[in-house]
Each structure stands twice: as C-alpha cells, then as structure tokens.
Amino acid sequence: MTRTPFDALGTPATVLVGLIGAGIQLSRSAAMHEAEGAAQGLRLVYRLLDADRMDPVPPIAELLRAAELCGFAGLNITFPYKLAVTEHLDSLSDDAQALGAVNTVVFRDGLRLGFNTDLGGFSDSFAAEMAGVPRRDVLQIGAGGAGLAVAFAILDNGVEHLAVHDLDRPRAETLVATIAKRYGRDRVSLAADVDGRFDGVVNATPMGMAKLPGSPYPVDRLTPDMWVADVIYFPLETELVRAAKALGCRAIGGAGMAVGQAVRAFRHFTGRDADPARMRARFEALGDDGGAAPIA
C-alpha cells in the first residue's frame, strides 16, 4: 500500500495526483478525489494534464517522466493513452494485463505500477444496482476502449452469453476473440446488428453523451422486462436510460462505474479506503453542469 507522506511536524504533506488525457476539462475526477482527501484530512491536489491544451503535445513517455520529476504520487490515464502507457510501466496488475489497458499509474519506490480500475468500477456498479436481473443473453453495443473492461465485468457477474455489436466490425471481431480466450467461445458471439431478443442491453459507445445525442439501441424495441446499463454519465441519464426507465425497465447510467473506478484509484494513490457513498454524493452534486463520459 502507498503510505501518505508526512512533513517534519507530522502534518500530512501534499499528495499530488492527476489525470492525463485529451479534452478532459469536464472530468469530475478532480472534484471527487480532492473532496475525499479533504474529508480524510489529506492535502490532496488533483491536476489535469490535458493534451488538447499542449502545443506541441509531448509523447506519453515525457508526460510520465515530468509527473515523476514534479513529485506526483500517481496519475489517472484516459483517452487516448490507456493502451500506449502500458509500454512505459514496470509492472501491470492482473486486470491491466488481461485488458491490455491502464487507467491508473502509481509511482512507488522508483517504479511505475499500472492498474485498471474500470473493470472493477463497472463490476461493482452492476453487482450493486442490477441484482436479480436475468442474465441469459445480453447485447453489448460498443467494442472500443471501454468495451473490453465492460465485457469482462458483465461476464464476471454471471451473464451466460454476450453478443457484441460495433459499427466497426473488425474491432468487434477483435473484442470477441479476446473475450473468447478468457471465457470460452460459447459465452460470446458477434452481433451483425442489434436485432434479437435480449435480457439486457449495455451501451459502451459514446452515443448518448451531451455532445453526441441519441441512442445506440432503438428505444422502440425496449420491453418492460429488459434491463439497460450505460457507461455514459454526462448527462446523468442518457436518452437510452430515460426511455428504459419510462418503460419500467431496470436501468443504470455510468455514475456508478465512474465512482467505483475513482474509489479504487484513490486507494492506489493514498493507501486509504475511500468512502463510496461520500464520493458518489460529491459526484452527483455536480449535476449535469460538468463531467465527461468514461469512454476511451
């Protein structure tokens, strides 16, 4: 576990962490982590290292090195660096290695340690909010950056068969092959379209975000006995989630995943357990005035 540094007077020193990504100014991570740090008596500072505001944009290796030199305890990593960062780390957690993607880096004892908290974040949210839903056949739309973590979490939570659909067919085929290696070919298949009878639908695409409105699944095909899970949290309720709830479906947005991954990252950064309810309250207090979807 990471130990929080103390100064000569026994006062907690500043814990400096941050987020590397592109177009991240609406991220809620800083608000969640700083508020949780303050609640635990830590001087935690969370900085955004936004590639969209850098000219020229340094390669990820230089960004990591700069963070080390500036005394960062760790970093969250998001689009477009989750895959590329793995080549510059000393070790990967089991989840990060299985997914081939890292969203949390810890600097410890001269080493760079890589973790993936997306899988656990979605898994925690699904287990807590979707207890008892039918899990025989589920459709996942989206095979991009969030797709693999979500698929692993869904299957870890007892979904018997997952059908994967993406407009980029080769990308969907790659995701299906990766899933099959871990869970077996009988538990996953490629869906050429979104037709069919499913117990639940998972959106792992950017569609539904404030800047990309709409629904990746035709809302007129929803039935009251289905359930819906969306990874998007800005807005807090996407068109798909709103339509599902209006019909009486069980439905969750991406808030639970976002908070869950932050809770796990906070532990990696500070060595302390965060209060999930407190972080969720801080997250929801921001409303729909700011935030970004955890899509990469």
In this structure, what CATH number is given to the domain that contains residue 91?
Answer: 3.40.50.10860
Whichever domain contains 158, its CATH number is: 3.40.50.720
Residue indicated by tokens 């095979």: 143
Backbone angles phi, psi at 126, to 5 degrees: -65, -45
Q: How confident is the model at residue 79 (pLDDT cuts 50, 70, 90)?
A: confident
Residue 189 in any domain: the answer is yes
- Specify whether 155 is located in the same domain as 246: yes
How many domains is the chain partitioned into structurally?
Answer: 2
Residue 263 in any domain: the answer is yes
pTM of the model: 0.87
Tell whether the model's pLDDT for residue 156 goes beyond 50. Answer: yes
- Specify whether 91 is located in the same domain as 39: yes
Domain that holds residue 142: 120-253
Strand order in the sheet with 161-165: 188-190, 161-165, 137-141, 200-203, 227-230, 250-252
- Specify whether 231 is located in the same domain as 247: yes
Average pLDDT, the chain: 92
Question: Which residues have a catalytic role annotated?
Answer: 82
Percent of the chain scoring above 90 in pLDDT: 83
Residue 2 in any domain: the answer is no
DSSP letter for each residue of 2-19: PPPPB-TTSPBPPEEEEE
- Specify whether 46 is located in the same domain as 171: no
Report the DSSP pairing between strands 188-190 and 44-50: unpaired
- Specify whether 131 is located in the same domain as 205: yes
Query: Which pLDDT belongs to residue 234?
Result: 83
Query: Which pLDDT belongs to residue 71?
Result: 95
Cβ atoms < 10 Å from Cβ of 287: 10
